[in-house]
Each structure stands twice: as C-alpha cells, then as structure tokens.
Amino acid sequence: MNVPLGKTAPVVLHRPSLGWWRADVVEPVYEADDVREILGDLTSAVAVVHTAYGFAVATGGTAVIGGSNSGTDGYPLAAHLPPLMPEHLGDPAFLKTYRLKYPYMTGAMANGIASTEMVEAIVRDGMLGCYGAAGQSIPTITTAIERLQQTLGSKSFAVNLIHSPNEPAHEEAVADLLIAKQVRIVEASAYIDLTPAIVRYRVAGLEQGPEGIVVRNRLIAKVSRTEVATRFLSPPPTRMLQELLNAGKITPLQADLATRVPMCDDLTAEADSGGHTDNRPAIALLPTMLLLRDRIGNQCGFATPVRVGLAGGLSTPASLAAAFSMGAAYVVTGSINQACIESGSSDTVRKMLAEAGQADVAMAPAADMFEMGVKLQVLKRGTMFPMRAAKLYELYRAHPAWEAIPETERAQIEKSLFRKPFAEIWADTHAFFLRRDPTLLPRAESDPKVKMALCFRWYLGWSSRWANAGEPSRQLDYQVWCGPAMGAFNEWVKGSVLESPSQRKVVVVALNLLYGCCIHLRREDLRRQGVSLAPELFRTEPRSRDDLAARLGS
C-alpha cells in the first residue's frame, strides 16, 4: 500500500493559501499512484490542498480563489490548475487559419523523406504536414501533390519550396507547379534572399475581398537569420514586384495588394536543426524573432500579425514546453520524424538514427549550395560522409579543375567515392542537368571548375539517395540529415514503446510530445504558485496509441 504523498513526495508551500476548496463527491488523495493519475488527466481542473495528512491533490469540487471557508468541510487551497489540453497550446489563430487541432507541424525533409505517407498520417490527426519536395523532379512532385489532394481533400497540407541559387530555373518550375496545382500552403526553406519564384507564389494568391485583402497562398518561412527574417516579415520588394508585373506574371491589382501584406503568414525560427542550419540556440533565436516581428509589424501596420513558431532541437516534452513558454505559436519537428516508419528513408537509416547520441552529428557541405560553401548538419555515426564531402570541398577550393588535382588524390576519389572514372561521372551529371536545368551545361563546358563542382555534387546528391534506398554497399557514404534533437529523443524513449525504430509512428511520436508537454507545463504552473511536487509524479514516458487516444480523445 502506498504511503501518504506528504512523506514520499514532499509538497513545499511558499505562499499563503489561494483560498478554499470543497469536495462534492471525491475527497482529496495523497497516495502517489492516485496523484499521478489525477495530474495526468488533462481534461480536469486540479487543486492542491492542505489536509490533516499534509498536502493532497483533488479534482472536481468547488474552488474559491481568495474566498473564505463558510463551512467546516473546506480545505485551504495551495494551488490550482485549470484543464490543459494540447489544443490549448500555441496561437489559436494558427489552428484556425489552417483548420488544425494541434499547433504542431512536421517540417519538410528533402528527397521525399517527408513522404506523402507521413503527411497523410499527421494531417489526418489534426496537425500540419509538409511534403519534402526539395531535390525531387517536377514529375515526382506533381505525383505527390495530386496524391495528397486526392487523399486529404480539403484538409490542410504544405509542400516545400527550397531556395536553389544554383538552379533558379528549377526553383521557378516548382513555383509554377505549386501555383498551377493550387497548393495553398508552402514552407519556404534555406532562403538567403527573396527570389522571383517565392515572391510570385505569394503574390499570385492575393485578391481583393469585400472586407479586405484575401490571401490564398499561405507562406510559412523557415529562417535562422534576422536579415532573412526581415525580408519575409516585410512586403515584397517594389523592384521585384515591378519586374514580375512587367513580365506579366502578376496583375497590377496583385502588385498593389502585395505592398500591404508581409511576405509570410508564419515565420518558423529555425534553431539547431538537421540539414540546412546555422546552429542557432533556440533560447536566443525565438525571442529575437518575436521582437523583430513586433517591430516590423508596428512599422508596416499589418492588419494581421505574422505568427512565429520554433523548429530545431524539439524532441522531448520539456523542449516543446520551453518553446510554448517562450511564446511560440506552433512547433515544428524534423530529425525525429526521419526515424519514423512513414518516412521516405530506409530501415538501415532508421536504425542508425535510433542509435544516435546528441554529439553524433557534424556539419558537411550542402549539395545544392556546394560552390557557396554552405553547410548542413548530418549524422556522423556509422558513416564517413561528413569527412568525404569536406574533402571534396577542400579540393574544389584549392584547384581550378579536376585535372589539376594531384593524380593520387584523383585515383583515391575515383576508387572510394565515385567508384568509376571521372569521365563517366561527368556523363551521368551531364544527362541529369540536361533534364533538370540545361542552362548550367554551357558554363560547365566552358569552365572546368564549374564542371568539377557539378561532378562533386553528383556524389553529394547520390549519398542522400543511397541512404534513402538503404543501399548496403554504400553505407559509409550515407548522407543523413540530423540534428542533436535525435539524441535527446533517443534518451527520452529508452525502455519505452518508442525505443525500437520499428514502433516509431509519426502521429504517436507527436501526440506523446504534446501530451508530455502539457504534463511538464502543469508541473511548472504549480511551481509558479509555490508548490513543488516530486518529479516522479510528472512522468512523461511515451505511451501507446490507445492510451493516448483515451487521454486526449483523439
């Protein structure tokens, strides 16, 4: 039999009583198991009261804040918790705009790692999912959009539009497709400046309605730098609007309306994440973006403020609680979803991710911005990709052409990385860009350094595809985008239903994080009222789907 709560899990009262609580049917409880169950019922208000046995926890009844006890059956009230469900978190305007139940989004992971299956699963449970269109061909993206529109109907989903400074024609083609297919939500990522493609997508969705400007094309901008955030929080540049107008790509009315709205509806502050990242600390980044949003919004006088969410490092209930406590309108997860069974990755990669620690990540050259020296965060445990990719970039920086690299170095690359002669790599690369962006080929044929860069990008591009396909002969070359959040998640789920990667379903992961976040926030609410309960009463170990459904009504 359990001992009283006051002995096993001390409650410390630092302030005078808030008022009184009186029971209706159920009396206060002080045994640990009963207390834990009450605190875990997010639908009920909870009172912490003083009894003859010490402090106890009660639900139901009547709480009178600041009142007096008019009878003899009342208990002094030490703290009071209102109901707190996951749908109460974040900004309700985010939920209303996208018709969601929870302020939770799964971000885009390129090459279809954020797959149609993942988007379908997360959207059907009332959250927002984004398809990973980056790195995909136009026919592949088209098929994915058509499938999602058919399977999800009127439910909200997003598609990624990534900045492609080395392939502007492809970025334009993806924007054209999104407009033509009437994709109404886009997550813009990796932008270092606005481009005609992203501006056109935004402005092409503006209309004049009877009660003001109607925004058809919603934009969620994922950024980590204030200078880039400033561009998305402001109206599109006048010069770019004029160029699009002159080219007949937007109408005069759309150009005029665009001067009165920001480039984005939502801005995701991207902290230390997998893939493209500046390794920003979330605790510093989010408050900065919120202040910037308020400053620009006040200057421009926008009718609707841009909402600011947080991504990067979010993988435990405590991290979500921190995000919402700092003012995040919504949260976005990434690395942890790649380890889920719905992702477009392979079982081999899922196992590698499930074994990763927080320090098992490194920065490596990005394929899409290789020549610019841009890096992304990847898994380093179980693969040599970070070192091999870094070596290619060093050689690119140091030499004007492939032929200028010392012969021993060239032989080693052909043997270990390319596994075929450079001439064959160029033939494959030439055929690829002939389909994807032929405008790059004349430059490559006239400039041997450009040709070398494109061939090195062949390796970087294929390294991700080998990982997604689980190609066993290429495991040492796997490029797996991953941030330290993966290691934190693995620590949290040890010994639970989510420890095995075969049991990780994206919705179960999401609901566990949201439920655990609410438990964590309840604990902090009690602390702010001067009451400290033992940590074991607020356990947030992952639960099964059925258990979560019973607790969340989902």
pLDDT in tens, 440-467: 899 999 999 999 999 999 999 999 999 9
Closest residue by Cα to residue 258 from 275, 277, 243: 243
**Dihedral sign computed on CA atoms, order 317, 323, 324, 329:** negative
Tokens 């481009």 belong to residue: 195
- Residue 1 pLDDT grade (very low, low, confident, very high; cuts 50, 70, 90): very low
- Residue 72 pLDDT grade (very low, low, confident, very high; cuts 50, 70, 90): low
DSSP 180: H
Judged against a pLDDT cut of 50, whether residue 132 lies above it is answered with yes
Judged against a pLDDT cut of 80, whether residue 502 lies above it is answered with yes
Position 8 scores a pLDDT of: 44
Give ∠ CA 483-475-346 in degrees, rounded to 5.
65
Closest residue by Cα to residue 294 from 262, 270, 272, 321: 262
- Residue 65 pLDDT grade (very low, low, confident, very high; cuts 50, 70, 90): confident
Position 52 scores a pLDDT of: 78
109: which 2 tokens?
A: 């992971």
pTM of structure:
0.93
Least confident residue range of 46-55, 141-150, 212-221, 478-487: 46-55
With pLDDT > 90 as the criterion, what percentage of the chain qualifies?
84
Position 459 scores a pLDDT of: 97
Query: For residue range 401-449, what is the model confidence (pLDDT) as tens digits?
Result: 999 999 999 999 999 999 999 999 999 999 998 888 888 899 999 999 9
Mean pLDDT of 257-261: 97
Closest residue by Cα to residue 270 from 105, 97, 423, 424: 105
Residues 460/481, Cβ–Cβ less than 8 Å: no
Judged against a pLDDT cut of 50, whether residue 317 lies above it is answered with yes
Judged against a pLDDT cut of 70, whether residue 381 lies above it is answered with yes
Position 442 scores a pLDDT of: 92
Distance CA 257, CA 240 (A): 14
**Dihedral sign computed on CA atoms, order 95, 98, 101, 103:** negative
Closest residue by Cα to residue 419 from 477, 364, 332, 362: 477
Position 7 scores a pLDDT of: 43
Distance CA 137, CA 243 (A): 27
Position 39 scores a pLDDT of: 94
- Residue 256 pLDDT grade (very low, low, confident, very high; cuts 50, 70, 90): very high
Position 4 scores a pLDDT of: 43
What SS3 class is residue 432?
helix
Position 70 scores a pLDDT of: 56
Tokens 């926890």 belong to residue: 57
With pLDDT > 70 as the criterion, what percentage of the chain qualifies?
96
Least confident residue range of 40-54, 76-90, 160-174, 205-219: 40-54
Judged against a pLDDT cut of 70, whether residue 3 lies above it is answered with no
Residue 471: burial class (beta carbons within 10 Å; 0-12, 13-18, 19+)? middle
Judged against a pLDDT cut of 50, whether residue 9 lies above it is answered with no
Higher pLDDT, 484 or 4: 484
Judged against a pLDDT cut of 80, whether residue 400 lies above it is answered with yes
Residues 468/113, Cβ–Cβ less than 8 Å: yes
What SS3 class is residue 264?
coil
Mean pLDDT of 18-27: 87
Residues 253/283, Cβ–Cβ less than 8 Å: no
- Residue 68 pLDDT grade (very low, low, confident, very high; cuts 50, 70, 90): low
Average model confidence (pLDDT) across the chain: 93
CA-only gyration radius of the chain, Å: 27
Mean pLDDT of 332-355: 96
Position 2 scores a pLDDT of: 38
Distance CA 355, CA 480 (A): 13
The structural domains of the chain, ordered by start, are 5-83+518-552 (no CATH), 88-333 (3.20.20.70), 352-477 (no CATH)
Distance CA 98, CA 114 (A): 19
